[in-house]
Amino acid sequence: MAETNRSPHGSSEHPGLLPEHSLLSLDEYLEMQQAIGNETRFRILNRLVESGDQSATELKEALDIESNTLHYHLDTLVDVGLVANRKRKEPSSDGLYSYYRATSLGEGILEHGVRALMREEWEILDAYSGE
């Protein structure tokens, strides 16, 4: 994750928001939320959660995103810890193979954040359309 001047995890700056020995700082949680708030990054993370590990080429083709734009957003997702970039040890005919995968934090923020809100909207619409 990006290095910044952050207060210690679980600090008394925001009592009650985080456990005393939180793994992440409030700033780190907010950076994740900000990252997923971008449509392109949301689409990338959603694709990785739905389809599993993907190379940059596979993501580019599936999401119809320019390569430089894709790499900018992938770097952001990696920096905040929502996506991991892995490299296979054995080279293929195309050279070393790099792929991206959603981290457990990435899956969690998607499932319990944005997707939860979307499901709630569907449930509300279904409840009121049945009248």
Tens of pLDDT, residue by residue over 66-93, are: 999 999 999 999 999 999 998 876 665 5
Beta-strand runs (E) in the chain: 83-87, 98-102
A 10 A CB-CB count for 44 gives 27
Q: Are 45 and 78 in contact (CB under 8 A)?
A: no
> Mind listing the pLDDT tens digit for each residue in 97-119?
789 999 999 998 888 877 777 77
Name the more confident of 72 and 25: 72
Kindly tell me the burial class for residue 101, based on how many C-beta atoms sit within 10 Å of its own C-beta (0-12, 13-18, 19 or more): middle
Name the more confident of 6 and 95: 95
Q: Are 77 and 45 in contact (CB under 8 A)?
A: yes
Per DSSP, 86 falls in state E
